[in-house]
Amino acid sequence: MRNRFDEQLEVLNVELIEMGVLCEEVIAKAAKAFLEHDNEAAKYAISKDLEIDQKEKDIEALCLKLLLQQQPVAKDLRQISSALKMITDMERIGDQASDIAEISTMMRSKSFKKVEPIEKMSTATIKMVTESIDAFVKKDLQLAKDVIDYDDVVDDLFDEVRNELIDFIRQESENAEYYVDLLMIAKYFERLGDHATNIAEWVVFSITGVHKDLDGLHNSSTSDYLTKLLDQRKKE
């Protein structure tokens, strides 16, 4: 029984890695779509989003199966409930990258000023997603914490983009529309960073049992609750 469970946890890990790879790909393609005005890359990003949606359903089904059939406790339970939370953020990563791709296809490809910090944002968010999944798989607490800290870099880059774009708009107000679209894209990247941070916070929770947002709240966190409930049932 126990070995079968470990095997299934391993399958869960592999599925999460695959979903993580899809997320990295979708961000990379979305970035390419708008940086190089590449409509093929945009289409590819949008199609990857559908794959990510399907992957979410598959992993969700697997997690629920593990919860119901195996009724895991403590660390195993935390790992599965973290996985359930992480895939929600990964699914949103797909949505947002797909939105970036869509906006890109509607932007005119005429050459405007380059906004370098947006390029940096795309690189930074890909790094964050990759490392948050790595941290989960390797149970690497420090790496998860690094991802969380790194979100400040993305937030600072967004502020840079925002200020740079406001300057550009003042200088060439006739191109305001283009720069406003760029700002929206930067905002999507900022949110991609937030989602990677959320993933990393669930990794911290799966390893330590402590979640930032659950601190200071009453003892009603789902996992606490489930742990108690299932422990009780095992005793009965």
Pick 38 or 99: Cβ nearer its own copies? 99
Q: Give the binding site for its own copies (CB under 8 A).
A: 53-54, 57-58, 60-61, 64-65, 67-69, 71, 88, 162, 165-166, 169-170, 173-174, 176-177, 180, 183-184, 187, 213-214, 217-218, 220-222, 225-226, 229-230
Say if CB 92 and CB 195 are below 8 A apart.
yes
Cα dihedral across residues 45, 51, 57, 59: positive or negative:
negative
Please state the closest distance from residue 187 (CB atom) to its own copies, in A: 7
Pick 40 or 159: Cβ nearer its own copies? 159
Pick 210 or 225: Cβ nearer its own copies? 225
Tokens standing for residue 179: 């720069």
Pick 75 or 134: Cβ nearer its own copies? 75
Name the residue with tokens 């945009």.
42
Please state the closest distance from residue 59 (CB atom) to its own copies, in A: 10
Long-range contacts of 41-47 (CB under 8 A, 24+ apart): 41/101, 42/101, 42/102, 42/104, 42/105, 43/101, 45/97, 45/98, 45/100, 45/101, 46/98, 46/101, 46/102
